[in-house]
Amino acid sequence: MLRGQQVTKRFGGLTALNRVDFAIEPGQIVGLIGPNGSGKTTLFNVITGFYRPEEGRILFDGHDITGARPHIVARMGIGRTFQIVQPFQNMTALENVEIGVLYGQGLSHGSESQARAQELLDLVGLGHQRHTPVRNFTLAEKKRLEIARALSVRPRLLLLDEVFAGLNPGEVKQAIELIFHIRRELGLTLLIVEHVLGALRDTCERVIVLNYGQKIAEGPPEEVFNHPEVIAAYLGSNETH
């Protein structure tokens, strides 16, 4: 479904991604981990068209989307969340989600578009808060909204950037349940960036590990988490499980 070939992205002298190869098959849940600054968000930005890689290609369902503009990538069926939640503060929850329904799915503004936005809010458990101005939401609610909004373009592939960060253990558990629920309902393929390794252990079938922009390991979570190079990378950056 999504393939990256030799993807390289540099910022001046810094190589944020170094010849990264990856492949995600339809229906999979894949984790993307790595210490701070290892290039996870940069990879998301390359996939979604915010950055054009200096080398390599990104293929989505066989189409070359390298350097395609973000709104095109979104309309093709890739939804994403942002590491730092960025709701449209001055809009209601419903309006936040309706934007993607209008522009991602190409509907015109009306009862149909609002109904679709409402469905997504219901799906993430915010249905009753549709008219609440988003600035009054808690962090956990903002993260749910962020997911609903990513779904509003009707993606087939969903990229989640640290959706569990900042949540307490109970909320993390709920968020994981939500993601499984969504996946069942919508039949999505998922690529999840995470820092909290525990959260991925129970969620992903396969994990890709980045370190200094290079892919250093890939495989089932248990295997990868015991990989010496991965342990070294995490110890070296003072990360704990």
Partner 1 sequence: MLVGLAILLVLALLPLARPSTYFLGFMLILFMYAALASSWNILGGFTGYLSFGHAAFFGLGAYTTALLLFYLKWSPFWTMPLGGLVAAVFAALVGYPCLRLRGPYFSLVTLILTLAVSIIILNAPWTKGAFGMFLPFPPVDIFTNHVIFYEVMLALMVLAALVARQIERSKLGMGLAAIRENEDVAQTLGVNVTWLKMEVFLISAFLTGMIGGIYSYYISYLHPSFVFDTLISINIVLMALFGGRLTWLGPLLGASILSVVNEILTLQVEAQLARIVFGLLLIGVIIFLPDGIMAAAAPFIRRLLGQSRRRLRPSSG
Which residues bind to Mg ion, rule: CB under 5 A? Answer: 40-41, 83
DSSP secondary structure of 166-198: T--HHHHHHHHHHHHHHHHHHT-EEEEE-S-HH
Minimum CB distance to ligand ATP, residue 164 (Å): 12
Backbone phi and psi for residue 35, each to the nearest 5 degrees, phi listed first:
-65, 175
Give a three-class secondary structure readout of 65-101. CCCCCHHHHHHHCEEECCCCCCCCCCCEHHHHHHHHH
Determine if 174 is a binding residue for ligand ATP (CB under 6 A).
Answer: no
Distances 102 to 65, 77, 99, 116, 156 between C-alpha atoms, Å: 22, 14, 5, 10, 17
Minimum CB distance to ligand ATP, residue 12 (Å): 7
DSSP secondary structure of 160-172: EESSSTT--HHHH
- Measured from the CB atom, the residue of 40 and 156 that comes closer to ligand ATP is 40
Token code pair at residue 112: 């149909």
- Measured from the CB atom, the residue of 74 and 175 that comes closer to partner 1 is 74
Neighbours of 115 (CB within 10 A): 12
Pick one of ligand ATP, Mg ion, partner 1, none as the site partner of residue 11 (Cβ within 5 to 8 A by kind). Answer: ligand ATP
- Measured from the CB atom, the residue of 77 and 213 that comes closer to ligand ATP is 213
- Measured from the CB atom, the residue of 141 and 194 that comes closer to Mg ion is 194
Of 6, 11, 72, 223, the one binding ligand ATP (CB under 6 A) is 11
Pick one of partner 1, ligand ATP, Mg ion, none as the site partner of residue 195 (Cβ within 5 to 8 A by kind). Answer: ligand ATP
Q: Which residue has the tokens 């903002």?
A: 142
Which is nearest to 66 in space by CA: 56, 74, 75? Answer: 56
Give the footprint of ligand ATP on residues 179-198 (CB under 6 A). 195
Minimum CB distance to ligand ATP, residue 169 (Å): 20
Q: One symbol per residue from 44 to 83: x for binding ligand ATP (CB under 6 A), - otherwise; what is it?
A: ---------------------------------------x
Pick one of ligand ATP, Mg ion, partner 1, none as the site partner of residue 178 (Cβ within 5 to 8 A by kind). Answer: none
Q: Are 68 and 17 in contact (CB under 8 A)?
A: no
Minimum CB distance to ligand ATP, residue 217 (Å): 15
Distance CA 92, CA 132 (A): 5
**Contact residues for ligand ATP, defined by CB under 6 A:** 11, 14, 16, 34, 36-42, 83, 195
